[in-house]
Copies of this chain bind each other. A is one copy, B any other.
């Protein structure tokens, strides 16, 4: 059977969490305490904790300790609902913080996708989003201001889909999505307040104005970096 020592620790905490003996958000004993309890060295303890982290059962806060992961939110990037509505419908409290907003010349990739000349200004928006005060998502968005004049003067901590609907009478439900399960790049890990190399989910989204394949107008290109343990993606495909 699975008899290595670190697996015993893993099972121990797995069961505590499954049985709700350890509730979401609560703190685990320190690595040194666990080591004493099981008569194992810290390295062995850390191996177990890192595996539990990979499973998404626990997460760490830099030099503060290990904590039980709250349940993942179900998120549908293609939904009519915004992040805010989604999260609150699931009984959690969403919030959004704007980290940066500026006009930037489009790089080659962005320009090609948007069908605009390179170095045309686009609106860069950098946001951090929270679920129950826990930072879970970094967004970096490039917005086609040619299609959305004046958007830079709006409150950009709110839901973009709401804003487009209310101010521009636009709804985008045509998009290309790319998902990749990989570790968080340094900048995203930094923004999330965790150490680089933690596992994450990387989403690239290209939002189109129309569903005309021959005249694709790109409203917005969105890069999302999620904590891997914070979200389950749900998409319904209907023809």
Known: A51-B197, A197-B55, A199-B54. A233 touches B182 (CB 8 A): no
Q: Mark A170-184, 1 if CB is under 8 A from B, else 0.
A: 000111111111110
Q: Mark A81-112, 1 if CB is under 8 A from B, else 0.
A: 00000000000000000000000000000000
A237 interface hit (Cβ, 8 Å): yes
Cβ-defined contact, A239 with B174, below 8 A: yes
Q: Could you tell me the distance between the alpha carbons of A234 and B180 in the complex, rounded to whole angstroms?
A: 9
Q: Could you tell me the distance between the alpha carbons of A111 and B78 in the complex, rounded to whole angstroms?
A: 28
A234 to B, closest residue via Cβ: B178
Cβ-defined contact, A175 with B237, below 8 A: yes
A48 to B, closest residue via Cβ: B197
CB distance from A59 to the nearest CB of B (A): 13
Cβ-defined contact, B54 with A233, below 8 A: no
Copies of this chain present: 2
Q: Mark A204-224, 1 if CB is under 8 A from B, else 0.
A: 000000010000000000000
Q: Mark A149-186, 1 if CB is under 8 A from B, else 0.
A: 00000000000000000000000011111111111001
Q: Could you tell me the distance between the alpha carbons of A51 and B206 in the complex, rounded to whole angstroms?
A: 29
CB distance from A182 to the nearest CB of B (A): 5
Cβ-defined contact, B181 with A199, below 8 A: yes
Q: Could you tell me the distance between the alpha carbons of A146 and B226 in the complex, rounded to whole angstroms?
A: 40
Cβ-defined contact, A177 with B228, below 8 A: no
Cβ-defined contact, A236 with B177, below 8 A: yes
Cβ-defined contact, A232 with B43, below 8 A: no
A75 to B, closest residue via Cβ: B179
10 additional contacts, CB 8 Å, given A54-B199, A181-B200, A211-B238? A55-B182, A56-B182, A176-B237, A177-B236, A178-B232, A179-B232, A180-B233, A181-B181, A211-B239, A235-B235
